[in-house]
Amino acid sequence: MVATLPEITALLGEPRFNWSDPAPWIELERELGIEFPADFREIVDAYGSIEVNGQLYLTHPAGHLLHSLGENIRGDLELWRDEDMAEFLPSRAGANPGEVIPVASATTGEAVFLRVPDEPSSPWRVVVQEFDSPAWTLYEMTFSDWLLAYLSGRDVTLCSRNFAPDRPFYEFLP
């Protein structure tokens, strides 16, 4: 199952970014040698660079320097490829099949990765690494399913109930 944007919107609220120019995605995907999953692109295009529940940071490739998906990925790949950090992930950080690519972070110290499928026909999966420990969790779900679970208050390593007891919310990153 792949959660739909209307399901995300029902919990998070109406998106106000609604990006439609594919150029930033094309440039970033060409640089990395991958094509991001459609559900991830759709959510990020709808909402842009945001902070969800005062905890989870999502960024868009058209964002400015401080909140650019491409800049964040480049910096995070450098960090996670360091030999002292590599042991904290289930596989190498990168954009090759079986590797994990960092796509989001949290104020509570977690990093969210997409696991690049081994085969083009295989689904993308989500890996969450708890930065303050060597623990990581692979979620056998798409990004949209993982985000929907997070917004619903399910424990997907990040827990929104503490940060959004009434209902999920988002704010644009400055």
In the predicted model, residues of the chain with pLDDT beneath 50 are: none
Q: CA separation (Å) from 167 to 1, 2, 57, 112?
A: 23, 22, 17, 22
User: What pLDDT is recorded for position 101?
Assistant: 98
| Distance separating alpha carbons of residues 139 and 156, to the nearest angstrom | 8
User: What pLDDT is recorded for position 120?
Assistant: 86
User: What pLDDT is recorded for position 54?
Assistant: 93
| Distance separating alpha carbons of residues 151 and 154, to the nearest angstrom | 7
Residue 97 exposed, middle or buried by CB count within 10 Å (0-12, 13-18, 19+): middle
User: What pLDDT is recorded for position 28?
Assistant: 98
User: What pLDDT is recorded for position 160?
Assistant: 67
Q: Which CATH number applies to 5-154: 3.40.50.2000, 3.50.20.10, 3.30.70.1140, 3.40.1580.10?
A: 3.40.1580.10
